[in-house]
A and B are shown apart, each in its own frame.
Chain A
Amino acid sequence: MKTNRKSDLAKREERTAYKLLLPALIILLLIAIYPLGQVFYTSFTDRQFASGQETEFIGFDNYRRLLSVTVQQLEPLVDEETNQIVIDEETAKVIYERPIDVLPREPIRYREYRQFNLMGNRYVLGATDVDFIDAIKNTLVFTVTSVFLELVLGLGIALVVNSNFKGKGVTRTAMLIPWAVITVVSARMWEWMLAPNRTGMFNMLLDRFGLTEGSIAFLASSSFQLPAMIAVDVWKTTPFMALLLLAGLQTIPDELYEAAAIDGAGPVKQFFSITFPLLKPAMAVALIFRTLDALRVFDVFQVLLGQSEYSMATYNYFQLIGNRNMGLASAIGVIIFIIIFGFAIIYIKSLGVEMDETS
């Protein structure tokens, strides 16, 4: 009788649990799991938005179009009469044949991405979708650089705020302000500070210190675009990094430092033998969060660079909304997913993070 009652209770508890889980699971199924399946499936089709055209299954064509790269050697041009290599008279450099002549056109046309020299030969790197290859490169450079800078600056700020001084509370409060600014808003704030003449804060300062003429087009010239994106992101997210690291620092007991000081260890030694190793778990988690976040960067790129330079996410948006090419956009989504997944695996393996707190 007693066991029966108990199993009744257990059954009732189980039923309640399922009922309570149902809303969350239905929502996640509708907005995440089903669309994810849809994206995987659509990535193998040529589906277009709002077109009468029949959708066809095209296998890996979208992926091939996005990711195909080739390296071709460029031959120096030879003068037909003298049989000598043609040299540019002004620059005294060897003239090579045009990349368009060597890059394959079938089945998909390759375009020039970069030229480079290796072992005395000239090569051209061609890609079928130069913009996407560029978007991957931009995103990776952006991610690695900004996350690294955020870690260094965040650690510096966290160490400063963790020491005892008057105004500690105010500083910690100030740290939250960049975090609270909407990303789009911070992008536009920086857009104005980066204005290409002396109405902009940066050009005004550079001019005042006599470093430049004060007319750098930070957002239009290709050598400043990525650094500008990184600067905006670092400003906005360093506080988040600092907060996570600060929380980690506060878990390190003071006794350890006291003991180390008695043993004659200086601040530098204390940092590397106590702070750094004990902060590693917090750093690992902060790094994972920030890296995965940076890999899907959208807001700053979309607002500040639009279609002049892409991140993976803004290229996805452009193909979906601008080109209405749903198949291709889906394939981009899948590629982003795989890249992010890859990073997550690498992190978890190499840092030995224990993500599971439950038993």
Chain B
Amino acid sequence: MRPHKTFRQRLLKIGFYFILLIIFIYLLFPFYWAVNSSLKTEAQLQMTPATMVPRDPATGEFAPTLQNYRVVFDNQQFVRGIMNSTIIAFSTTALALVAGSFAAFALGKLRFRGKKPTLYLILAMTMFPQVTVLAGLYAVIRTLSLPALISLILSYMIFTLPFTTWVLTSFFRGLPMALLESAQVDGATPFQTFYKIMLPLTAPALVTTGLLAFIAAWNEYLFALTFTSIEPTARTVPVAIAYFTGAVARQEPFGEIMAAAVLVTVPIVILVLVFQRRIVAGLTAGAVKG
């Protein structure tokens, strides 16, 4: 009986690691393919069948090239896109954190009339479908004739501010009331209590929500495409990549597109890997009850 059982266990273990391998391939292969393609020349990209690593068309030897990356760094639209996206994502994050932590402190710790409706409004807003207001928001922006960068920062508040406020509210609520009371006894105003005592304590939650806001803003495409349609210099990274064309009009330059794809993905992936615990906690905050 015994040898049979260990054989069975071994089989189960092999099966398990086989499934794990498939999961890994599924999750990572498309990204690998992008890296692989970004290291190929135009001629290598056109080889049929496509090769799993960059190979010399004649000799079949391993022959990667960094040519695509050089071209991408020389592409003005792409470089400007990175700058625009960086400005927009940082400003969005800062604004969402400031306005969000203000509101969250009020909602989480202070007593006032109309608290419940405000909470419901914020919660409803976290589910708000952005595309609904596309036409209306576009009209507002055109009426105020806001520059595209400003209008993108403002409009990204639709999906960052309610989420930030909601998560921070539950965080503030978890802080002991005694802190607030003792500060009041010491004669601190509620606002002083907020930024001198409460805010430093919420640093972990600020990092989490800030990261998620940053990634969401970096990722956004619908508003970016719409609001930069008349102002191409304000295009963000996703728009630049969607419109990516080569220096010479020809087939779509997929080698360069893949190089650009790798370049904009790697920083975010590093950011995500460094802060993975916080991000997972943030993604699941409020979503799953213990």
Which residues of A does B touch, CB under 8 Å?
9-10, 12-14, 16-21, 23-25, 27-28, 30-32, 34-39, 42, 49, 157, 160, 163, 165, 167, 171-186, 188-190, 192-193, 195, 197-201, 204, 207-208, 214, 235, 239-240, 243-244, 247-248, 251, 281-282, 285-286, 289, 292, 295-296, 298-299, 302-303, 312-313, 316-317, 320-321, 326, 329-330, 333-334, 336-337, 340, 344, 355-358
Contacts and interface: CB of A to CB of B under 8 A. Distances in A.
A312 B132 CA distance: 10
Contacts of B19: 160
Given A42-B139, A172-B276, A244-B284, A296 B130 contact: yes
Given A185-B261, A240-B283, A23 B135 contact: no
15 contacts: A42-B139, A160-B20, A175-B27, A176-B279, A189-B30, A198-B49, A214-B48, A235-B26, A244-B284, A247-B284, A298-B131, A298-B221, A302-B221, A320-B134, A330-B135
Contact of B99 (A27, A188, A193, A313): A27
A328 B229 CA distance: 19
Interface in B223-250: 225-226, 229, 237-239, 241-242, 244
A357 B33 CA distance: 43
A181 B165 contact: no
Contacts of A303: 221, 242
Nearest to A313: B131
A334 B280 contact: no
A182 B238 contact: yes
Contacts of B258: 188-189, 192
Given A39-B135, A176-B272, A214-B48, 16 more contacts: A16-B110, A23-B103, A25-B118, A27-B99, A35-B139, A42-B139, A172-B280, A173-B276, A182-B238, A184-B221, A244-B283, A247-B287, A281-B289, A282-B288, A299-B238, A333-B132
A197 B251 CA distance: 14
A201 B128 contact: no
Given A185-B264, A333-B136, A17 B157 contact: no
Nearest to A214: B49
Interface string B112-156: 110110111101010111111111111110100000000000110
Nearest to A174: B27
A27 B112 contact: no
A167 B24 CA distance: 11
B136 A243 contact: no
Given A34-B140, A182-B238, A188-B241, A39 B284 contact: no
B132 A39 contact: yes
B280 A24 contact: no
B288 A28 contact: no
Contacts of A320: 134-135, 138, 226
A285 B219 CA distance: 23
B174 to A, nearest CB: 12
A102 to B, nearest CB: 35
The SS class assigned to the B binding surface is helix
B222 A173 contact: no
Contacts of A32: 125, 128, 133, 158
Contacts of B69: none
Contact of B157 (A27, A180, A337): A27
B139 A38 contact: yes
B14 interface: no
Interface of B: 16-17, 19-20, 23-24, 26-28, 30-31, 33-34, 37, 45-50, 95, 98-100, 102-103, 105-107, 110-113, 115-116, 118-121, 123, 125, 127-140, 142, 154-155, 157-158, 161-162, 165, 170, 173, 184, 189-191, 194, 215, 218-219, 221-222, 225-226, 229, 237-239, 241-242, 244, 254, 257-258, 261, 264-265, 268-269, 271-273, 276, 279-280, 283-284, 286-290
A320 B48 CA distance: 41
Contacts of A199: 45-48, 50
A190 B33 CA distance: 9
Contacts of A298: 131, 221-222
A213 B90 CA distance: 48
B265 A180 contact: yes
A357 B49 CA distance: 55
Contacts of A244: 283-284, 287-288
A17 B106 contact: yes
B27 A204 contact: no
